[in-house]
Amino acid sequence: MAPTSYQICVLPGDGIGPEVIDCARQVLEALKDTEDGPGFQFDEHLVGADAFEASGEAITDAVIDECKAADAVLVGAMDVARLPANARQPLRTLRQSLEVGASIRPARTFAGVEARCDHIDTLVVREVTEGIYSGIEYAAGPDAACSVRLITRGASTRTAKIAFAEAQKRRRKVTAVHKLGALKLTDSLFLEACRDVGKDYPDVEFETRNIDACALEMVRHPEEFDVILATNTFGDILSDIAAGLACGLGLAPSGCVGERWAYFEPVHGTAPDIAGKGIANPLAAILSAALMVRHLGELKSADRIEQAVEAVLAAGAPRTGDLGGDAGSAEVRDAVLAELASS
Ligand code: ATP
């Protein structure tokens, strides 16, 4: 059987984006030399503040069409602060055009890297278009203002489907987070949608927890959680708690996923203070590539990349400055490639 090949649209972005994304791309390329490893074809486009300065457009319709035609999109960081207010915001445009309604943020500990807990390995799946961040706000007189917490069955169902599908690729447990006592109508609807989706996944354990109890339990017993399914604001806060308990943002990958399209990016930004010096930590970008590979269904290859990263971190060196070492990005990338080659 011919090996699978995927078309990946690469948007390296600004600052350290191109440096770390190039490392991730080389790791993906190396998968074809592993047993049953897929091949990748890359199609790279300039998007972001550098693109705006070069051409007057931060992202074009042609690039969006390329993203839609690809199997997945890999994104570096975008320096949105350098864009004028009237410029098209690349990530917002991408989210809307690719109809990605859920963000996925894994958080985990790595042997050899200091963390706030002994063990955590969670994935927060968060709805990103509604909830209190729906943007529907109005003044209710001179001394009061309202924000509308919009919850729809459609968006809740879409997010729940992603959470259950991801749980099937992990430890098969979904925890849906709510505040039913206070938010009776909205969170009943959200939980009902989650339960309905769960009926199609009898092999996935489903539980519900109040947001406050969930936050407490995550800090006390983080090892109990696998996939956490949440509305916008609750998910926003819980994903940062999980990252804080794990090894911090420096090793944090993320994805934005919809029913047809998805893009993946490291959580960190453009880091202008270290851009161009070859010292950025490429591991969050490499782990974002692993998340993408897992999303594409190549579970063995995703495990391979993550195990290679684990081995490099457990060895203690090479490490970049943010993890207490003095190595450059290329040394860390090469160490991951060497682990991959011997796997
Ligand atoms: P942006 O405005 O694009 O978010 P920022 O510098 O405000 O950029 P980050 O890019 O997240 O925010 O960086 C915050 C700090 O973490 C900076 O000091 C940066 O150098 C450091 N940092 C971020 N990413 C990395 C990385 N991959 N490797 C090493 N240091 C990093």
Which residues make beta-bridge pairs with 8? 42, 72
Residue where the block lists tokens 């706000």: 137
Crossing angle for the helix pair 90-97 and 61-69, to the nearest 10 degrees? 50
| pTM for this prediction | 0.92
Provide the token pair at 153.
Answer: 């069955």
Q: Whose CA is nearest to atom 24 of ligand 1?
A: 268
pLDDT in tens, 112-124: 999 999 999 999 9
Tell me, letter by letter, the H, E, C secondary structure of 150-165.
Answer: ECCHHHHHHHHHHHHH
C-alpha of residue 136 to centroid of ligand 1, in Å: 31
The mean per-residue pLDDT over the stretch 181-206 comes to: 98
Distance CA 13, CA 68 (A): 18
Among candidate residues 38, 309, 297, the one with its CA nearest the CA of residue 169? 297
Q: Please tell me the predicted confidence (pLDDT) of residue 249.
A: 74
Q: At residue 135, does pLDDT exceed 60?
A: yes
Among candidate residues 205, 197, 199, the one with its CA nearest the CA of residue 224? 205
Q: Please tell me the predicted confidence (pLDDT) of residue 273.
A: 96
Distance CA 125, CA 104 (A): 5
Distance CA 289, CA 8 (A): 10
Distance CA 191, CA 188 (A): 5
Q: At residue 3, does pLDDT exceed 80?
A: no
Among candidate residues 271, 278, 225, 276, the one with its CA nearest the CA of residue 109? 225
C-alpha of residue 75 to centroid of ligand 1, in Å: 15
Distance CA 94, CA 89 (A): 9
Q: Which atom of ligand 1 is nearest to the CA of 282?
A: 27
Q: At residue 2, does pLDDT exceed 80?
A: no
Residues acting as catalytic residues? 133, 179, 212, 236, 240
Provide the token pair at 340.
Answer: 């991959």
Element (H or E) spanning 122, and its range?
strand 121-127
pLDDT in tens, 58-72: 999 999 999 999 999
Sign of CA dihedral 236, 238, 242, 244: positive
Give the E-state strand segments of 163-281 in sequence order: 173-178, 205-210, 227-230, 253-258, 262-266
CA distances (Å), 71 to each of 148, 224, 293, 336, in order?
Answer: 35, 33, 10, 24
pLDDT in tens, 81-112: 999 988 999 998 998 999 999 999 999 999 99
- Taking CB atoms and a 6 Å cutoff, what residues make up the pocket around ligand 1? 16, 20, 77, 79, 81, 250, 268-274, 280-281, 284, 320, 322
Residue where the block lists tokens 């009776």: 184
Q: Whose CA is nearest to atom 27 of ligand 1?
A: 281
Distance CA 280, CA 274 (A): 7
pLDDT in tens, 199-236: 999 999 999 999 999 999 999 999 999 999 999 999 99
Among candidate residues 176, 207, 202, the one with its CA nearest the CA of residue 189? 176
C-alpha of residue 110 to centroid of ligand 1, in Å: 20
Distance CA 316, CA 187 (A): 45
Provide the token pair at 299.
Answer: 């579970």
Distance CA 179, CA 214 (A): 10
Q: Which atom of ligand 1 is nearest to the CA of 20?
A: 27
Q: Report the mean per-residue pLDDT for the chain.
A: 95
Distance CA 254, CA 237 (A): 15
Provide the token pair at 88.
Answer: 């098209």
